[in-house]
Structure 1
């Protein structure tokens, strides 16, 4: 034991680098998630005494991960209040009138939104819109899906809150004594990269694949879309109004038919006037159905008697068991509908919607139902052996009347931090308090909006970075690099840091790379007598602007799956983009730095 202690005492720096090398190998092998590898690495440093207990727990005082968590919650509030959904609906309305122009608007809008919101939810919201745009314009979906990720990444490089990577680097830099970064301090360099990146993307668009995705049945609808029906009550003030004047329809609730006097009308129904008892056949996601339920303009779904209302009681989700005796029968004839006071307000089926309407949909195994009813009825459904996974629906209605609060809260964070009145972290935390107390989002939903995997990864890598400093590994690496760098012109430092971060981030987690490289970059700048600020900005953008692999950035992985791309598709477009964006950013840093 003494021999091991003596060995660690004599070769602390070298042992620290060996552990780091093993972590990098495991990152590349991907046998475990990056978060697991990072936690195990931090634990190894602690177990070997390469980081002391005080240092290990000091990483939890770093403001960057907590600020990122707060920004996740604010983005969740914009989703919960239907703000992003309304924006998406507006885009689709524009696409129907000016389809070609809508493509440019979507791409520029994604760029702008990603500068101030986490770009992952932005891309998630826009993926189904891209499918619709491809249908309307006739442009192959693969020529639009990858550019969506690219513009989202470019937008995230414009402001300090555009990506979690920027906040991590800024937080570590501030702890190392650098002047704190403002929200728009990196904007000139991010904008330079964005302009050149967009120009490169347009000029290389002929290299984007044009073959259709192999994913069948993908029409831009959500995999969680339900078939439902909106019944016009006999005393409704909507009677006599044209369907086209209704505001309930959009991207998340699409009218697909009108059932009147036993007949189903299809096609363009915008000019049809509503009659009492009309049943509007609608494809909608769960959130839209719950919003319609709370609106109470229509009665939802089907029931055995007209006295059972969907707006009363609770809503549960249930799956039809393969052994259900009603398999192949009409949904209207399912036994529990007649035995209990419930309404079926939606049915979901993998790959496609059932039909032709809710009542006549033929029941299949694994169909998912949304059912509204009293607590007694819900207990009876839980005891039904022919239903699986019966539980209270976690889907909630949009809180559209709170949208203005969420918008103002997010705008205030951006404005106050830009004016240097409060820091980004403090502003974000105050905004979180406001949206919670005004119930823009419930506490449970707010915490679920936080990507815990990202935060654990960041904390673990901060610990690894601090361990490398305490063990002397950072000083050792800087000592190796410094003689080589002293012979190179000063301006080449920016290029070296940028492309080193870029190459590593194409293979590993960009947040992990940022946490590791920041202290090394600052130490190298101090050793060479160079200004560390341009180098830190180069690291920020270089660790995020990764286009050459589908694992280089999270949004790349999203569109990789949605668009059914090949790995080579990213390489073909991404490598030129990496070069041109990197040259633009680094040149601007040299000129202005």
Structure 2
């Protein structure tokens, strides 16, 4: 014990860097989610005494995570009141009259929306619209889906609230004594990158793939269709009847197969007589599924316990997060199905109907699940960090009469912050209070709109940053880098910081990289006696504007699954985009910063 204390006393900085290196290894290996790795890293620093109790709990006074949480709630209110839905309807009407122009309008709209809303929910909402635009215009889906993510990321770099990464960097910088950032302080540089990125996207569009996505099953359906199963009960009145005599199937529901005794049959099944226990594999839209559920003629979906009925309780919709640990595994093996008394009654994958049946479907990020269960089970699912959008169901009635309140609340946050009347964090929290008081969104829905996984990751990485400072690791790293940087002109530092953040963020969590690099960059600026602000802005945008890998940013992961892209598709167009946007942003920082 004495030896360990002596070792920690002499080599605190080195041990701090070793823990950091081990975290990076685990980030890359992806055996655990970035959030788990970050929490374990913070715990390791605290256990070894490299992070004291005061330093650990000081991270909870940082305004950035609370601001991010408040913005999640405000975005949830815009969805709940139907504001975003109405915008989507408007787009589709435009697409019917001016298909090609509608594509431009959607992309520009996504860019602007992502500047004022977190860009991840913007992409989630627009994915189905992109499918429809592809169908209406005849433009290959893969030439539209990836650009959606790209323009959303570019738009998020224009304002302080466009991405959680911007808010994290701004929060840490304020804690380090820098002048707080205003909502539009990064706008000139973000706009420069956005203009260059949009121009490059148009010029490089020939690099986008045009092959159609692979579709499982014999009928791909459309973006709103679910794969489900109808189980014939032992007391069903349909036993002995031919499938062709049923009036269940039509435009909104189509029979894909029959599973009997472990064997799946395809083709013409109209002459097949139904047996007890048969499973009809069906493609259906949400309305058809709910109608079949209420009819009581069949048991829907799959459950770990055969006694769990899908006709009881409520039905919620949830999206599988790109970081879900069960990605690639069978739907039957998803953990919550065995931990809770629920039934999965449908799975939706944009234009990629899973298969061969519901239980054997392999899980992908952005899959949408319809889940039936008790209120207690639903509360547990809302707390599941690996599910997004839980309890925000498309089948629920919008509170359209409250839409003006939600819009006004978001507008006031932007205006108060931009005019310097009130900090963005305080304005956002007051706005949350206003939309809760006016019931734009219920409390449970509001908390469900918050991505807890993101907040825990931010707090954990803030703790890691404090630990590195307390251990002296930051000072040591700056000491190593300073001699190399002293010979570089000040403008070169901007390029070095930007592309270092970009490369790391293509491989690791954007938020983790931002939280880790911010104190290092500020300390380096002080050591070199240069203005830290341009370097911090370069870090902000560099950590977000990642296009070369599907794991570079969360929106990339969403369209990667929805558009059925290959990894190389992102590399092909993402690398030149990274370079062009980076040069534009850094050039603007050198000239205007």
Same fold (TM over 0.5): yes
Q: Give the 3 Å change call, closer, same or farther, for CA 385–424 of structure 1 in structure 2.
A: same
Deviations 1:124-175 (A, max 9, x none): 1111111111111111110111000000000000000000000000000000
Question: Matched residue of 1:180: which SS?
Answer: coil
Map Cα deviations across residues 373-404 of structure 1 (whole Å, 9 max, x no partner).
8xxxxxxxxx9969446322344321111111
| Local SS of the residue matching 1:393 | strand
**Deviation readout 1:525-549 (Å, 9 max, x if unpaired):** 0000000000000000000000000
**Which residue of structure 1 lines up, in the alignment, with residue 140 of structure 2?**
140
Change over 3 Å in CA distance of 1:558–1:67 after alignment to 2: same
Deviations 1:177-199 (A, max 9, x none): 00000000000000000000011
How high is the TM-score relative to the length of structure 2?
A: 0.76
Report the CA distance shift for 1:574/1:350 in structure 2 as closer, same or farther (over 3 A): farther
Deviation at 1:370, TM superposition (A): 5.0
Q: Give the structure 2 partner of residue 63 of structure 1.
A: 63
Structure 1 window deviating more from structure 2 (126-135 vs 507-516): it is 126-135
**C-alpha distance in 2, partners of 1:169/1:544?**
11
RMSD: 2.8
Shift in Å, 1:221: 2.4
Maintained 8 Å contact 1:320/1:386: no
Q: Within 5 Å, which residues of 2 pair with 1:277-296?
A: none
Report what 2:313 is aligned to: 391
Partner of 1:254: none
Map of 2:198 onto structure 1: 198
Other-structure match for 2:150: 150
Distance 1:418 1:348, change over 3 A: farther
- 1:348–1:369 CA contact under 8 A, matched in 2: no
Aligned counterpart for 2:290 among listed residues 369, 388, 412: 369
1:322 to partner: Cα distance:
5.1
Q: Does the aligned pair in 1 maintain the 2:505–2:544 contact within 8 Å?
A: yes
Q: Which residue of 2 aligns with 1:567?
A: 567
Pick aligned residue for 2:223 from 221, 224, 228: 221
Matched residue of 1:49: which SS? Answer: coil
Equivalent pairs counted in the alignment come to 476
Q: Which residue of 2 aligns with 1:579?
A: 579
Q: Say whether residues 1:525 and 2:525 are aligned partners.
A: yes
Given the alignment of the two structures, is residue 171 of structure 1 paired with residue 179 of structure 2, yes or no? no
> How far is 1:329 from its partner?
6.3
- Judged with a 3 Å threshold, the aligned counterparts in structure 2 of structure 1 residues 569 and 87 are, in CA distance, closer, same or farther, namely same
Shift of residue 347 of structure 1? Answer: 8.5
- 2:227, 2:281 within 8 Å by CA — same for their partners in 1? no
Aligned residue number for residue 185 of structure 2 = 185
Partner Cα distance (2:55, 2:543) in 1: 25
Tell me the secondary structure at the aligned position of residue 546 of structure 1: coil
Q: Deviations over 1:182-220 (max 9, x none)?
A: 000000000000000011111110111110000345554
Q: Contact 2:192–2:584 (CA<8 Å) still a contact in 1?
A: yes
- Structure 1 residue 24: Cα displacement: 0.2
Tell whether the 8 Å contact from 2:145 to 2:559 is kept in structure 1 after alignment: yes
State the alpha-carbon separation in 1 of the partners of residues 214 and 314 from structure 2: 35
Q: Distance in 1 between matches of 2:254 and 2:502?
A: 42
Shift of 1:10: 0.4
Matched-pair contact (CA < 8 Å) for 1:223–1:350: no
Equivalents in 2 of 1:553, 1:90: separation in Å?
28
Distance in 2, Cα, partners of 1:84 & 1:330: 44
Q: Which has the larger radius of gyration?
A: 1
> After superposition, where does 1:332-411 map in structure 2 within 5 Å?
365=280, 368-370=289-291, 387-388=309-310, 390-394=312-316, 395=393, 396-411=396-411
Distance in structure 2 (CA, Å) of the matches to 1:329 and 1:453: 49
Which residue does the alignment assign to 2:17? 17
Partner of 2:369: none
CA separation in 2, counterparts of 1:348 and 1:20?
53
Segment drifting more, 508-517 vs 129-138:
129-138
Give the Cα separation in 2 of the matches to 1:328 and 1:60.
Answer: 64
Distance 1:161-1:349 versus aligned 2 partners, 3 A rule? farther
Q: Partner of 2:425 in structure 1?
A: 425
Q: How does 1:88-167 map to 2 (within 5 A)?
A: 88-167=88-167
Does the CA contact (< 8 Å) of 1:462 and 1:515 recur in 2? yes
User: Cα gap change, 1:4/1:156 in structure 2, threshold over 3 Å: closer, same or farther?
Assistant: same
1:321 Cα deviation after fit: 3.6
- Corresponding residue number in structure 2 for 1:491: 491
The secondary structure found in structure 2 opposite 1:547 is coil
1:452-508: CA deviation from partner (whole Å, max 9, x where unpaired): 000000000000011000000000000000001001111100000000000000000
Distance 1:454 1:370 in 2: 36
Inter-partner Cα distance in structure 2 for 1:386 and 1:548: 44
Q: Distance in 1 between matches of 2:431 and 2:503?
A: 36
Task: Name 1:558's counterpart in structure 2.
Answer: 558
Q: 1:168 to 1:389 in 2, by over 3 A?
A: farther
Deviations 1:389-442 (A, max 9, x none): 632234432111111110100011011110011111001000000110111000
Q: Which residue of 2 aligns with 1:295?
A: none
